[in-house]
Amino acid sequence: MKHNILTSKKHTLLALGVASALGAASATAATSERMIVTLKEQSTANTFPVALSEAELTDYKAQSLSLFASNINAQAIKTLPSINAVVMELTPEQLTSLEKDGNVVTVEVDPKRYVPELIDGEIAPFAESTPYGINMVQAKLVSDAAAANRKVCIMDTGYMRSHEDLVSAGVTGDDGYGSNDTGLWYNDGNGHGTHVAGTIAALGGNGTGVVGVNASGNLKLHIVKVFNDSGRWAYGSDLIEAINQCEAAGAHITSMSLGGSGSSTAERNAFDQSYQRGMLHIAAAGNGGNSALSYPASYDNVVSVAAVDSSENKASFSQYNSQVEIAGPGVGVNSTWNNGGYRSISGTSMATPHVSGVAALVWSNYPTCSNVEIRAALNASAKDKGAAGRDTSYGHGIVQAKAAYDYLAQSCGGGGDPVPVANFSFSTNGLTATFTNASTAGTYNWTFGDGNGSSQSAPTHTYAQAGTYNVTLKVTNSAGDFDSIVKQVTVEDAVTPPGCTGLSEWSASTFYRVGDRVSYNGYEYKSTWWSRGAQPNIFSNVWNKVGKCN
């Protein structure tokens, strides 16, 4: 009886020229390679006089898989009871012996998974700012007040729990172990995982750093440290184990800014089965700038995420292929770093947490929806880019939180009264502030920070004296659910016309920080973000046009 021997396109089995069938083996060297051996499901009904619990059955399977390895004189590196597989280092002789074993379904190379190569640069924000990607994906237009009912599992290099801009209480995690000893999950000697976490859930309203897609601190996080502090590669079998760890922790979404070229039937089956159990898996499409498939992103039941820049154009490094499903901001993304500071990084690794963060955001408002319905809503409501409809560069388009939220209100949300979202903008003229309400429908309660308030939808208020005031808008729906937002409004006794005297002309080669002022084409601009080469009249997310020079 012949069994399936699966190999990647990049290398032959055991690097010894072994063909896909065991019987074609011609290797003579004793070199071994790490393999995943999947066995047929064994019935336990006739083995035990009583039914086993799920935990007991898992333990029994693990023992049986270890015994199987021992019987062919191999050491079980790890057992994977969820897919009835065992990982072993196998020699050609041991592979040959498996050909005669009727319990074997497949034998395949355990594929390597990597932290993608990144383009990065250090930044040092002085006050809280909103990365351009947060607005691009409409994160601020949807409330995350209910985010505590969702949990995102981040498979990466760890999490800097002590970072001032990241939540620490309630975050859980799993460390590497055995042959994949990656260290403590709450230590991140690399920085990549901390950066990803910041995009998903960096704290808002604390006056420092950045804000994430879910900025309230309510979203639950589980960290699985699949890479060590040097970012050393992991295996596909490590991801299979990580899926189980995520599910055991009660996660609903996995965020995987990682990948590799080799596919694996065992790994694919693990993601398929987890997806059928209700998990939503999201992974980076890859940074090769080519049409190659990267895994796990390119499995059907994993969402493959491409990257766009601040102008919503496909990033040059972003891989493009038929499996690309959706896109997110991935060029010059500012987020938290493992030194307690912040860093600007580019990659599909940065686009992925935008999508997983949005998935958690909209799902938290419609928790009765299934993973399939959330995925469909994200795709149906994405901002179409490139060729009309789904294409290989952008997939369905750029993920849009508010559009997905509205879509769900008419589908699995049942058309009921959705969780309200509070938002507003304003303009000032002297001591008078005019407010524009961008909230969902409901009743409105404004407090202007000077003891006065209003219940109008879009009020105008004149302050008694100049200063900066905290203005709060609370929105309540008919079910009694509410959301609120606070913004600082500064009014002055008189409007002073802007002037450019003494200001330097903007230069493409100069690094600008928040608050820097420049002149450009006869106008004064004030920097709202860190940048280099961002032309003021184009990058409105980086520069605020103050007015014409005197």
Active-site positions read 156, 192, 349
Distance CA 436, CA 388 (A): 34
Cα pseudo-dihedral 528, 529, 535, 540, rounded to 10: -50
Helix (H) or strand (E) holding 36: strand 33-39
Distance CA 472, CA 483 (A): 10
Q: What is the DSSP letter of 58?
A: H
Tell me the C-alpha to C-alpha distance, in Å, between residue 174 and each of 118, 193, 374, 459.
25, 13, 27, 50
- On the question of a cis peptide bond just before residue 296, with omega within 30 degrees of 0, the verdict is yes
Contacts of 175 (CB under 8 A, 6+ apart): 182, 183, 184, 185, 225
Distance CA 375, CA 362 (A): 11
Three-class secondary structure of residue 316 per DSSP: coil
Question: The tokens 């804000």 sit on which residue?
Answer: 211
Distance CA 416, CA 413 (A): 7
In whole angstroms, how large is the CA radius of gyration of the chain?
27
Helix (H) or strand (E) holding 284: strand 280-284
Q: Crossing angle for the helix pair 348-365 and 401-409, nearest 10 degrees?
A: 30
Three-class secondary structure of residue 401 per DSSP: helix
Question: The tokens 């498939």 sit on which residue?
Answer: 293
Cα pseudo-dihedral 217, 221, 226, 228, rounded to 10: 30
User: Phi/psi class of residue 467: alpha, beta or left (left: φ > 0; alpha: ψ in -120 to 50)?
Assistant: left
Sign for the CA dihedral angle at 11, 13, 15, 16 comes to negative
Question: The tokens 């897919």 sit on which residue?
Answer: 83
Contacts of 176 (CB under 8 A, 6+ apart): 182, 183, 225, 226, 228, 238
